[in-house]
Structure 1
């Protein structure tokens, strides 16, 4: 392990020094990439050697597999009793539900409430029996939990049926008092059970019941939404203080452990409710502002322990900023002039987000707020970009440009202080992202016209390409990542333009060539297809939109030219179709798949034209596939490509027979499928001559599929005779040349052909005939086994050996 760590340190030092040589222009990009690739291979081999050396030592430390626990008879008995008990409960509940649904309307209010209380006490009694008598603790705990859940339902039903009077009822003036009393009773009982049983579940019941009690208390004080949320947020703050008070108390350890889990949930719950219902408030901005600030403080404290809650905390701060804007805008006359301006809110939130970004991220070195650093950056950036998006949607180009420039300057100032590569790339890409709105605002400001988002993105792509072209060292590599992604997105966006003419095609072609140039300079040929696909789509749209005379012929010529260009471009870049090292692809010529993608497009244009044009796609496919055989060194891949090129020769063949033969005839079916058998022989003897196992499997597959298709096409006695002759011919060829697939497939197809043609005979046999035939078969098998046993399998073995020798 020490040797491996030392090797990693030396590897990091070597790569760092090589990168410095590149940045200081002592070596060029190609030399750096060659050195890096060679060292990566050496590093991989040497690391594997170091890892394999101590592998035999690790094998001794593997712990033996633990045996499965053996279930004792007592455990089985307990499980069976639990199952019986659960089944009894289910039956009891079903009986009660049926009784209740059938006689509920004729019961009095008191009877209905007593019935619900009886269910509660029934579960409680069954828990006592399970605990004291049967000693089944898990079942007892389950019944006690059910009883606890039915308790608040029982109290609620008593209030609903007005058993405590009309005032202290579900719809009366004292409904909140009823809720307080019921919640206090539930809280007391849940608390007693929680500490008695040391139960986490009952502790959660206690905390939920306590929260419900506080909700009813707040509603009883003043029944308004804003006061309710303010009171509950204060309650969450009191829970945090309670946790601080009891966290070191061993007697209340159960409460403190569960309270620290409960506080984030209940705080987030009320935060979401506040965000949902605060939209309907009119003028209670001060109360809402205080509520959001308290929630932000609570969430900030909770996120100090649980980092994920820092993001909701910052969202609540943004919501507080929103209501601070509303409060200022409605309270001070100096802002009344600007109150109707739709720009003011966006500007206000943008400035607030910038302040949060600057102080909680850039200047944040305080211990207790350091955990908010990452979330403040993400949240403030999202808000600033949302403000920019709002300006763009509202066609506020000057505002959009100013916000983009301000944000870019802020990011650029921070970029100079960044040291981690991830941070540098993040801020750099955000700056490059802002070029698009800046360009949009400049164009709109100077020309007062809208040129479209797709044109702005293309113009931005050219600007980023210029920055990449004149940058040096590591900055060139960083910009290239963004340019490739942005350039490809621009290609896809530009393809959405309608109509799509020559000018649009030229822009996409230039942009695609630019992206491909950067990919080749970075030795990223593996990603060529991401730029070639939108280019192919653009060419297809252009050819479909041609309206000039003879546009179909011109479209075919353009598409054929593009296919040939793709083919030769890939062959000029590399003589190999792919390069594989250490079982990993280091290079793939994706111009070849791009050329293959042109085939269906050419076929789509040519399918309604004359025969000579319809033959072009198939001939091109044969040429394209056969020309790639020499570019492959692996025998398996070479055989596959050669097989495909041979099979593709059927495409022009099918076009020719389809032109001059009737499709519904059996002869047409024979002409379609019999050539597959000839092709199978050609493929075996040319493409798979070095691998007979795969060749025979291919032969079996082709011959079986062809025979099945011909068997399906047989629809008369005449065609059945022809098919039978072909089957006999296949048997004779298989016997003469010892080709197993021809022999067995011939026998099978002949047998099925006879069965299908004699279907009227055996299909009309009475059912007892099948019984007789089955009896004969069973007797014959039994007799054969008996005879085979007496002759000690010698005669059968001799026959099988002779048959194998013949095969």
Structure 2
């Protein structure tokens, strides 16, 4: 290598290396080591170049040309055209064939046998005739070949039909004694035609037709001689020998090259065909199995001789199927499981028998694995279905053989899957071995047996180190754990509680072994949690067994005591683990005990338990346990467990006392809310002793307080007055003591809500005669007064509550019944004050909400009040005009942008004015003006907004206003008496006028969109007019529709607009088509098929004729007219 190139490569390598270090992909130490090694390598190269090298005369190395990459063939335009012609011709022929067959077979039952076979012959001749037409006249080679194939396939069908219909006599019929001779004739006679086409067309397909027909004919000939099955098979093999001899005689001759090239693959396929013929013609399972095994050996020999590796697939299938037939139909069935396992194992050693000539070790290893897996599934299902799950020595040995097979595969291939499969099969063998060893012991359930198999697999193979089983140590541990987990789930599913307790105790041993023997971090992390959980749940499982066996224990103590005992045992184990220096295990035990005791408390609250003394004791012990957990661990969530359990102790003691002492209604109403006050009192007293614990009591108390107040309101209603008075004080003090902003807001809003509920319950208790939710405006007045008296900070906080409260209050006042002038005036005043407050606080963007509520109040008052429809119409219209005027006066534009959401200004008055105009529709009477006025006002209001929106939307607003004018138009014509003949035209033609005006307004903008809309409108209108004409079915509708379509065509031609011209033309043609329906509507369906077939054939023929004209350089008259017409129409709009 030249020094300059070597130095350049050296610089590039060092540059890339240091770039990897700078980007963080390699550490500095690795970069330094690699740089030194590369430098030394560079020096060694320089030193090596100084030593003279003796040259030798070597032959030039032949360069192998790179294999060209296969690219997808892209069809040319001419090829695509030829393909389309071919498809048109094929489809046309199929249509003709279907139609012709229907005409021919409509009277099939009345036809004679000669006519039926003759019909098949005619079909074959027709295919050949079409092939000749396509080849000689149309020059379409592919189509001609396709029809030759179809005609050739009909030849054996024709011969067989002669036998089927008995035209050759009873002997050569399908059920006669000469039926095999008939089969031979049906295959041999067409061979002459196949050989002719194979030679003339040079077609490989007809070569194969010839070969397969000869094989089938030979098979039927031997079957017709009524030979035994062994002589039949001998005859077929002799037939193959004759074919091979003929092949050797002809393979050097050029005349028969087409046949000799296909002979080698054919003779291989012929072996399979011989076996299939024997299976079809004879029925002997044992002999059939030997033939399959012999065929498999033949394929193995062919692979050895010819070197074709793919034969091993056929060999494998043949050997497995042959072995299955032999085992199931001979004495080997008694120990078939072992034989199946050995067959899978034997595949591993086949490459050694072939001296590893073909490098098929990996292939046969996979084959062995697949066959062994299938054997495992088969013998397992057979053991379940036939032996009903009883222990079996044969099945155990089969499992161990399969496991040994996969152990060998694991060593040979190195695949990660094989060790796990070995362990799974080993576990299956252990499962079968357990009942065989412990057959005298009764009562061992299937779940416990499965668990024991996993336990033995984990300990004996996964933990105990055996040298020749070292490859499955890890997999045995994984599979053993999975099996034990599945057994535990099974025991839980089938309520096997004492067995589950035993499994969990053994799990404690397993997890401890993992902690001591396992090096993996994930396993150890899992074991740290699994050990205490298993220990606790083992106690729960034994306790559940006691629940089932002792009814008194189940009712008085139940699962609450079971889980509590398990949790306490885990806590005691945590103490022991800490003494034995297992700190992490001690910590996880404490966490596990907390979870177990939480379940115990849940059972104490909701499960069967003595509520007088067992329930309070369990919950009180929980307070002590969680306090101990808090002191030992010190996590942030532990104090909450203490506070929550303190709350539960409070309620449990109250409930226990209530079982002996009866409380009054006032006392009962204070019970729930005083629990939160009790927790907040504890928090206040402990705030200086333990701030973390105090904070937990504060959170728990304030979360509980609203829930308790809501429950008190639902259960006691007016008696909740005193609870809300206390909550007003508590929330006020809390807001005063709070330091964080969001805490201050929550407590302040809690005080406001308590004030509202205090006023509400007070009014219900002392002013129950007042009808209406007037506590909302009264509370809003008090909050507004509070906002005026406090500082600016509290004014901002109050606004965030007062505004949503006002909205909600106005909405609630709408539900007042009866809704008369009094609630309506209150809502109007409430809304005006709210709007003034919104303007003062600069929250105009929310003004649309009270305006909408005012509209809803007006609508409700209009329906429930005493006004007449005309008065309601004028009231709604007047308020709408007033709202629109106010909007124009206050706001210059509909939407004024701001820096944020609050500073945005929206003209809610104008928006709500549309709702008032819409409300007018509900109060229309018989007069025309009342039907037209709402639509005119809405359209006019749209036109008034054109200068109040951005310029981009001004045209859109005008289009909407123009389009809405259709509503009053349709309202008026709906009241007028229009003749039925012109009714549809009066309805749909204004839409076309609207589209024309829209195009004028847009002045060329959005031309593509408007053209699409114009097309859609014209098509829809045309369809509606056509439907109207079909519904009435009169000559006048046809004249009107034709006149309109003709007018559309003339307008399209004059204005050069495609939409009007083509729509008019289409409607005109459709009108003619529909008017002539009585003439073509009664034709049978097969006539359509015949017409369609003829059209397709004519089109294909015309295209082929046109193609030939173009090849000669001629231009047809039709092409000239087509090009001129298309060029002129392209210039239209």
TM-score, normalization by structure 1: 0.72
Go from structure 1 to structure 2 and tell me whether the alpha carbon gap of 1:765 and 1:427 turns closer, same or farther (over 3 Å shift): same
What is the match of residue 13 of structure 1?
none
> Where in structure 2 are the equivalents of 1:396-795 lying within 5 Å?
397=718, 400-440=720-760, 442-443=762-763, 447=766, 449=768, 451=770, 454-469=773-788, 471=790, 473-546=792-865, 548=866, 551-580=868-897, 586-606=904-924, 609-635=926-952, 637-661=953-977, 665=980, 667-686=982-1001, 690-715=1005-1030, 716=1033, 718=1035, 719-750=1037-1068, 753=1071, 761=1080, 764-766=1084-1086, 767-777=1089-1099
What is the match of residue 360 of structure 1?
683
What is the match of residue 325 of structure 1?
654
Superposition deviation, residue 783 in structure 1: 6.5
What is the match of residue 181 of structure 1?
502
Go from structure 1 to structure 2 and tell me whether the alpha carbon gap of 1:256 and 1:99 turns closer, same or farther (over 3 Å shift): farther
What is the match of residue 381 of structure 1?
702
- Once residues 328 and 177 of structure 1 are traced to their aligned partners in structure 2, the CA distance between those partners, rounded to angstroms, is 38
1:497 is paired with a residue of what secondary structure? coil
What is the match of residue 487 of structure 2?
151
Go from structure 1 to structure 2 and tell me whether the alpha carbon gap of 1:707 and 1:470 turns closer, same or farther (over 3 Å shift): farther
- Once residues 470 and 1130 of structure 2 are traced to their aligned partners in structure 1, the CA distance between those partners, rounded to angstroms, is 71
- Once residues 93 and 789 of structure 1 are traced to their aligned partners in structure 2, the CA distance between those partners, rounded to angstroms, is 73
> Where in structure 2 are the equivalents of 1:275-286 lying within 5 Å?
275-277=605-607, 281-282=611-612, 284-286=614-616
What is the match of residue 50 of structure 1?
none
1:499 is paired with a residue of what secondary structure? coil
- Once residues 1053 and 23 of structure 2 are traced to their aligned partners in structure 1, the CA distance between those partners, rounded to angstroms, is 58
2:545 aligned with 1:215: no
- Once residues 369 and 814 of structure 2 are traced to their aligned partners in structure 1, the CA distance between those partners, rounded to angstroms, is 67
Of residues 684-693 and 581-590 in structure 1, the stretch that sits farther from structure 2 once superposed is 581-590
- Tell me if the contact between 1:666 and 1:713 (Cα under 8 Å) persists in the aligned partners: no
For residues 731-766 of structure 1, give each alpha carbon's deviation from its aligned partner in whole angstroms, at most 9, with x where no partner exists: 322222122332344345445555555666277452
- Once residues 95 and 453 of structure 1 are traced to their aligned partners in structure 2, the CA distance between those partners, rounded to angstroms, is 79
2:674 aligned with 1:351: yes
Superposition deviation, residue 483 in structure 1: 1.1
- Once residues 738 and 511 of structure 2 are traced to their aligned partners in structure 1, the CA distance between those partners, rounded to angstroms, is 54
Go from structure 1 to structure 2 and tell me whether the alpha carbon gap of 1:690 and 1:260 turns closer, same or farther (over 3 Å shift): farther
Point out where structure 2 has 5 or more consecutive residues left out of the alignment.
1-21, 26-360, 391-438, 463-467, 548-552
For residues 472-531 of structure 1, give each alpha carbon's deviation from its aligned partner in whole angstroms, at most 9, with x where no partner exists: 533322212211111111122222223222212122222222222222222222222322
> Where in structure 2 are the equivalents of 1:790-805 lying within 5 Å?
802-805=1128-1131
Go from structure 1 to structure 2 and tell me whether the alpha carbon gap of 1:318 and 1:115 turns closer, same or farther (over 3 Å shift): closer
- Tell me if the contact between 2:590 and 2:629 (Cα under 8 Å) persists in the aligned partners: no
2:773 is paired with a residue of what secondary structure? helix
Go from structure 1 to structure 2 and tell me whether the alpha carbon gap of 1:448 and 1:87 turns closer, same or farther (over 3 Å shift): farther
- Once residues 782 and 123 of structure 1 are traced to their aligned partners in structure 2, the CA distance between those partners, rounded to angstroms, is 77
- Once residues 797 and 460 of structure 1 are traced to their aligned partners in structure 2, the CA distance between those partners, rounded to angstroms, is 84
Superposition deviation, residue 792 in structure 1: 13
- Once residues 583 and 802 of structure 1 are traced to their aligned partners in structure 2, the CA distance between those partners, rounded to angstroms, is 57
2:1131 is paired with a residue of what secondary structure? helix
Go from structure 1 to structure 2 and tell me whether the alpha carbon gap of 1:426 and 1:151 turns closer, same or farther (over 3 Å shift): closer
Superposition deviation, residue 648 in structure 1: 0.9
2:806 is paired with a residue of what secondary structure? helix
Go from structure 1 to structure 2 and tell me whether the alpha carbon gap of 1:298 and 1:562 turns closer, same or farther (over 3 Å shift): farther
RMSD: 5.1
For residues 171-213 of structure 1, give each alpha carbon's deviation from its aligned partner in whole angstroms, at most 9, with x where no partner exists: xxxxx76654354245445665686575467776655543331
For residues 40-85 of structure 1, give each alpha carbon's deviation from its aligned partner in whole angstroms, at most 9, with x where no partner exists: xxxxxxxxxxxxxxxxxxxxx9999xxxxxxxxx999999999999
Point out where structure 1 has 5 or more consecutive residues left out of the alignment.
1-60, 65-73, 161-169, 171-175
- Once residues 457 and 1042 of structure 2 are traced to their aligned partners in structure 1, the CA distance between those partners, rounded to angstroms, is 79
Superposition deviation, residue 615 in structure 1: 2.3
Superposition deviation, residue 571 in structure 1: 1.8
Q: Which has the higher contact order (CA 8 A, sep 6+)?
A: 2
- Once residues 650 and 208 of structure 1 are traced to their aligned partners in structure 2, the CA distance between those partners, rounded to angstroms, is 76
1:281 is paired with a residue of what secondary structure? coil
- Tell me if the contact between 1:285 and 1:326 (Cα under 8 Å) persists in the aligned partners: no
- Structure number with greater Rg is 2
- Tell me if the contact between 1:519 and 1:525 (Cα under 8 Å) persists in the aligned partners: yes
Go from structure 1 to structure 2 and tell me whether the alpha carbon gap of 1:258 and 1:779 turns closer, same or farther (over 3 Å shift): farther
What is the match of residue 24 of structure 1?
none
What is the match of residue 664 of structure 2?
341
Go from structure 1 to structure 2 and tell me whether the alpha carbon gap of 1:580 and 1:180 turns closer, same or farther (over 3 Å shift): closer
Superposition deviation, residue 441 in structure 1: 5.0
Superposition deviation, residue 678 in structure 1: 0.5
- Tell me if the contact between 1:577 and 1:589 (Cα under 8 Å) persists in the aligned partners: yes
Go from structure 1 to structure 2 and tell me whether the alpha carbon gap of 1:442 and 1:182 turns closer, same or farther (over 3 Å shift): closer
Superposition deviation, residue 462 in structure 1: 2.5
Go from structure 1 to structure 2 and tell me whether the alpha carbon gap of 1:420 and 1:500 turns closer, same or farther (over 3 Å shift): same
What is the match of residue 64 of structure 2?
none
- Once residues 362 and 680 of structure 2 are traced to their aligned partners in structure 1, the CA distance between those partners, rounded to angstroms, is 61
- Once residues 826 and 1100 of structure 2 are traced to their aligned partners in structure 1, the CA distance between those partners, rounded to angstroms, is 79
What is the match of residue 623 of structure 2?
293
Superposition deviation, residue 322 in structure 1: 0.6
2:815 is paired with a residue of what secondary structure? coil
- Once residues 184 and 501 of structure 1 are traced to their aligned partners in structure 2, the CA distance between those partners, rounded to angstroms, is 77
TM-score, normalization by structure 2: 0.53
Superposition deviation, residue 633 in structure 1: 2.4
Superposition deviation, residue 433 in structure 1: 1.2
Superposition deviation, residue 706 in structure 1: 2.8
Of residues 293-302 and 609-618 in structure 1, the stretch that sits farther from structure 2 once superposed is 293-302
- Once residues 593 and 509 of structure 1 are traced to their aligned partners in structure 2, the CA distance between those partners, rounded to angstroms, is 18
Go from structure 1 to structure 2 and tell me whether the alpha carbon gap of 1:259 and 1:508 turns closer, same or farther (over 3 Å shift): farther
Superposition deviation, residue 313 in structure 1: 5.7
- Tell me if the contact between 2:780 and 2:802 (Cα under 8 Å) persists in the aligned partners: yes
- Once residues 725 and 615 of structure 2 are traced to their aligned partners in structure 1, the CA distance between those partners, rounded to angstroms, is 33
- Tell me if the contact between 2:880 and 2:913 (Cα under 8 Å) persists in the aligned partners: yes
2:663 is paired with a residue of what secondary structure? coil
- Tell me if the contact between 1:236 and 1:266 (Cα under 8 Å) persists in the aligned partners: yes
- Tell me if the contact between 2:508 and 2:534 (Cα under 8 Å) persists in the aligned partners: yes
- Once residues 527 and 144 of structure 1 are traced to their aligned partners in structure 2, the CA distance between those partners, rounded to angstroms, is 66
> Where in structure 2 are the equivalents of 1:45-84 lying within 5 Å?
none
- Once residues 676 and 790 of structure 2 are traced to their aligned partners in structure 1, the CA distance between those partners, rounded to angstroms, is 32
Of residues 264-273 and 624-633 in structure 1, the stretch that sits farther from structure 2 once superposed is 264-273
Go from structure 1 to structure 2 and tell me whether the alpha carbon gap of 1:411 and 1:251 turns closer, same or farther (over 3 Å shift): closer
Superposition deviation, residue 422 in structure 1: 1.8
Go from structure 1 to structure 2 and tell me whether the alpha carbon gap of 1:347 and 1:83 turns closer, same or farther (over 3 Å shift): farther
Superposition deviation, residue 532 in structure 1: 2.6
- Tell me if the contact between 1:357 and 1:376 (Cα under 8 Å) persists in the aligned partners: yes
